[in-house]
């Protein structure tokens, strides 16, 4: 098996974690996003509030702005912020934006690009699911 740092450097497949914002926790979500983008000259809490409020009203998924490798997903999903609607966390191949037409891999519980297919199905040797992750994704056992 390749060392983890090798996989991070040379594995071209990346994943993202998405959640829905609890309408009662929009202020917390706004502060969380503003803090994460503060170092990059990002939007203020007030500007983020409008984005978060609108996403919560529409029931849209929002990215947690994480670009992850498959082995990092369990920890990322275990640390989903408390503003997320319980059970709403999903995983997608990067740069997939979840919507009603996004294909879903029933085997691995990951949203993927229709043209490319599920990255884990395509390369099961390289993309080994961390123990228990597949089952947890199917059961929605994340905050």
For residue 25, give the 3-state DSSP assignment.
helix
Phi-psi region of 132 (alpha: psi -120 to 50; beta: other; left: phi over 0): left
Tokens of 43: 């939007």
Cβ distance 51 to 58 under 8 Å?
Answer: no
The pLDDT assigned to 35 comes to 87
- pTM for the predicted model, two decimal places: 0.78
Question: pLDDT tens for residues 92-103?
Answer: 887 778 887 888
Average pLDDT, the chain: 80
Q: Report CA 127 to chain centroid distance, whole Å.
A: 17
Beta bridge partners of 61: 20
pLDDT tens, 51-109? 999 999 999 999 987 788 777 888 888 889 999 999 888 888 877 788 878 888 888 88
């Amino acid at each position: 098996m390749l060392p983890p740092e090798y996989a991070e450097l040379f594995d071209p497949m990346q994943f993202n974690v998405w959640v829905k914002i609890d309408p009662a926790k929009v202020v917390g979500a706004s502060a969380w996003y503003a803090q994460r983008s503060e170092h990059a000259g990002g939007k203020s809490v007030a500007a983020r509030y409008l984005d978060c409020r609108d996403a919560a009203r529409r029931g849209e998924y929002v990215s947690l702005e994480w670009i992850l490798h498959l082995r990092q997903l369990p920890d990322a999903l275990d640390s989903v912020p408390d503003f997320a609607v319980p059970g709403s966390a999903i995983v997608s191949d990067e740069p997939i934006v979840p919507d009603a037409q996004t294909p879903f891999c029933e085997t691995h519980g990951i949203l993927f690009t229709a043209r490319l297919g599920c990255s884990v199905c395509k390369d099961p040797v390289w993309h080994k699911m961390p123990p228990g992750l597949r089952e947890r994704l199917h059961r929605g056992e994340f905050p």
